Amino acid sequence: MKYKNTLQKGNVRFIIFREQKAWYGICLEFNIVEAGDTPQEAMVLLYEAVEGYLESARKVKARPGILNQAADEEYEKMWEDLQQRKNIRAKEVFSFGNINTSKMTLAAV
């Protein structure tokens, strides 16, 4: 099976959004969710979590399946709606896009 994300390279999707008073950053392929008081804080925490996740995966030489997880259905729907420029009820979206994981710091493996 060919995987989109490997330990050396990849591209993961993210969304930064507000639900009620909290801001959340999600990385769909890694199933990581971070929360912050501001959208910028949520984005920084998410980016740090993605870096740490990749560093740990590289350190243990993990199989690529953990870098290519199925996203939670709610977040996958949110991503699809954003791609189609649809409004998302009850959520204010700050940002969404892709993170090129091959540009992140490579840990010694």
Two tokens, residue 60: 């243990």
Query: Would you state the pLDDT for residue 103?
Result: 75
Tens digits of per-residue pLDDT, 33-90?
A: 999 999 999 999 999 999 999 999 999 999 989 999 999 999 999 999 998 887 776 6
CA atoms within 13 Å, Cβ hemisphere of 52: 8
Q: How far is it, in rounded angstroms, from Cα 107 to Cα 40?
A: 25
pTM more than 0.85: yes
Question: CA 74, 84, 47, 52 torsion: positive or negative?
Answer: positive
Q: How confident is the model at residue 108 (pLDDT cuts 50, 70, 90)?
A: very low
Q: Are 9 and 101 in contact (CB under 8 A)?
A: yes
